[in-house]
A and B are shown apart, each in its own frame.
Chain A
Amino acid sequence: MSKHTSNKVDKQSSEPVERQVVLPFKQSLAISFKQIRVRFFRSLITTLSLVLAISFLSFVRVSNDVANGLLSTGDPDFRRQLIRAGYDLGPEDVRAETNPKQRWIVILSILVCVVGIVNAQLMAVTERFREIGTMKCLGALDRFILRLFLLEAGMQGVVGAMAGALIGGFFSLLNSVIRFGNASLTHVLLSDVFFSMAFATGVGFFLSLAGVFYPAIIAARMQPVEAMRAEH
């Protein structure tokens, strides 16, 4: 056996320096998935603020869809109920707008959520300095590291945002039924609700990626020695 391997070594040593190092996408996906599974609790907490912000966004959007559904019937009763419920409807308006106060709360909650994600991801990156340094010593390129973090955040983002959109949509519909009765369900356009929830999911996914981008770049740019030393 030693003969066999030593031949290989000799052959390899005489190769000039080449440049091809790879990490197939499937492998990156597997590694990222493993990271999430192992740090499940941590991932859950990182995702929780996203779930909250997105469910709020979804709640507001779906409520708006319901209001539009009710308005489209042309029934003045619904119009009165909606105005009493806080919708700012002029006599000529045929579509309900999210009221500015709600819009601000949504924007604020999203901001808080992004700050939370950046913070949590910075911590996650710091925690993993040694691991990143080790991977770089094994030949990982900057973009392997970047991709691992983006994939991880992307997976968390999709799951968290979908959960948020569903939760928000569900409570919005529940709230409408309580306020305006079953009519709110019969008149709302399902396609609108679906679109609103898809929109909320998309926003959540994007936020999750945006939040990890800066920490991931820091991680990827790290020189192996710095990374190894950092934890001491």
Chain B
Amino acid sequence: MLNEQSKALKGELTEAVERKIVRVSQVTKTFKLGKVDVQALKGVDLDILAGRYVSIMGPSGSGKSTLFNMIGGLDKPSSGKVFIDEVDIAQLDAYELAWLRCRKIGYIFQTFNLIQVMTALENVTLPMIFGGMGNEAAIDKGMELLDLVGLGDRYQHKPFELSGGQQQRVAVARALANNPAIILADEPTGNLDLNTGEEIIALLKNLSWERKVTVISATHDIKMLNVSDQVIWIRDGRIEKIEEREDLTISVGSVGERW
């Protein structure tokens, strides 16, 4: 079924002009650890088209999270540029950056990062309140989103009363709060067991499909490959190869041995 979906998606995308929602140009990132320089990214060029489900794969320490933080405007590159919707995010001031994080990008973390003192519903409505939505409207929309991720009846629960998978669902709902154009998920299934992880992946895939959201997800998780429109392999701070969905089925067999 997913296959059909993505074929149809491909069709639609080529019909519409393929918009580059994320453009990474010559990005390097060097961390200074005392006198030692650690180069986490060594010149990355990358275009990501709107509406796609993109996985970033690579061994631990290859620079996935670092690249993520650059794309999400959470950290600044040492050199090079990141464009979101053709806007250079290095040029944005604090307010514009906050707006970008609030409205354009939804983040999903490996550790869920729900706000512990708030209920599921309050967690989901917080970005909407930051975004200027009225309380009533935010609550309506929050309930709608919680229903969407299958947690409509748990809206009053605090994060510690929810399982890991449920917390991640709330995080997905929160990421969708302001109808972002991009969802950035850094190892969203890293802290979940096999089944729960698959559920979250299916959920993300459906969302990207139904809502035409660009999903960019870093992972070690081979399961992610099956739903991806594009897989970007990164190794040692560089892009090793970029595979489209069609090429993927060929190489998936050999993947298991490498990781």
> Which residues of chain A have a CB within 8 Å of any CB of chain B?
1-2, 5-6, 8-10, 12-13, 15-24, 27, 31, 34-35, 38-39, 130-131, 133-142, 144, 223-225, 228
B194 within 8 A of A: no
Q: Is the CB of B212 within 8 A of A9?
A: yes
Q: Which residues of A contact B92 (CB under 8 A)?
A: 17
Q: Is the CB of B117 within 8 A of A35?
A: yes
Report B88-113 residues with CB < 8 Å from chain A CB.
Answer: 92-96, 98-104, 107, 109, 111, 113
Q: Assuming A20-B99, A34-B118, A139-B98, is B181 touching A12 (CB within 8 A)?
A: yes
Q: Which residues of A contact B85 (CB under 8 A)?
A: 13
| Nearest B-chain residue to A143, judged by Cβ | B94
Q: Assuming A34-B118, A225-B75, is B132 touching A22 (CB within 8 A)?
A: yes
Q: Is the CB of A224 within 8 A of B74?
A: yes
Q: Which residues of B contact A136 (CB under 8 A)?
A: 98, 101
Q: Give chain B nearest CB distance to A91 CB in angstroms.
A: 62
B21 within 8 A of A: yes
Q: Which residues of A contact B118 (CB under 8 A)?
A: 31, 34
Q: Assuming A13-B50, A13-B85, A139-B98, is B129 touching A23 (CB within 8 A)?
A: yes
Known A5-B211, A6-B211, A6-B212; further 6 A-B contacts with Cβ < 8 A: A9-B181, A17-B100, A18-B103, A23-B130, A131-B113, A131-B115
Q: Which residues of B contact A225 (CB under 8 A)?
A: 69, 74-75
Q: Is the CB of A8 within 8 A of B179?
A: yes
Report how far A38 CA is from B135 CA in the complex, Å. 22
Most buried by B among A8, A136, A224: A224
Report how far A62 CA is from B129 CA in the complex, Å. 46
| Nearest B-chain residue to A141, judged by Cβ | B98
Taking chain A's interface residues, is the majority helix, strand, or loop, or is none over half, making it mixed?
helix
Q: Give chain A nearest CB distance to B9 CB in angstroms.
A: 12
Q: Which residues of B contact A131 (CB under 8 A)?
A: 113, 115-116
Q: Give chain A nearest CB distance to B148 CB in angstroms.
A: 9
Q: Is the CB of A19 within 8 A of B210?
A: no
Most buried by A among B72, B117, B135: B117
Q: Assuming A138-B101, A225-B74, is B87 touching A16 (CB within 8 A)?
A: yes
B146 within 8 A of A: no
Q: Assuming A21-B132, A139-B99, is B126 touching A223 (CB within 8 A)?
A: no
B131 within 8 A of A: yes
6 shortest interchain CB distances as A-B pairs: A139-B102, A19-B95, A13-B181, A2-B210, A139-B130, A38-B117
Partner of A140, one of B21, B98, B100, B117: B98
Q: Which residues of A contact B126 (CB under 8 A)?
A: 135, 138
Q: Give chain B nearest CB distance to A162 CB in angstroms.
A: 25
Q: Give chain B nearest CB distance to A8 CB in angstroms.
A: 5
Report how far A15 CA is from B99 CA in the complex, Å. 12
Q: Is the CB of B99 within 8 A of A9?
A: no
Report how far A228 CA is from B94 CA in the complex, Å. 18
Task: Name 17 A/B residue pairs within 8 A (Cβ), A-sorted.
Answer: A5-B210, A6-B212, A9-B181, A12-B178, A12-B180, A13-B50, A13-B181, A17-B96, A19-B98, A21-B131, A31-B117, A131-B113, A135-B115, A137-B107, A138-B101, A138-B126, A224-B74
B127 within 8 A of A: yes
| Nearest A-chain residue to B206, judged by Cβ | A2
Report how far A224 CA is from B94 CA in the complex, Å. 12
Report how far A141 CA is from B132 CA in the complex, Å. 13
Report how far A136 CA is from B130 CA in the complex, Å. 10
Report how far A42 CA is from B92 CA in the complex, Å. 39
Report how far A2 CA is from B115 CA in the complex, Å. 29
Partner of B179, one of A12, A18, A137: A12
Q: Give chain B nearest CB distance to A170 CB in angstroms.
A: 34
Q: Give chain B nearest CB distance to A27 CB in angstroms.
A: 6
Q: Give chain A nearest CB distance to B139 CB in angstroms.
A: 12
B23 within 8 A of A: no
Q: Give chain B nearest CB distance to A219 CB in angstroms.
A: 14
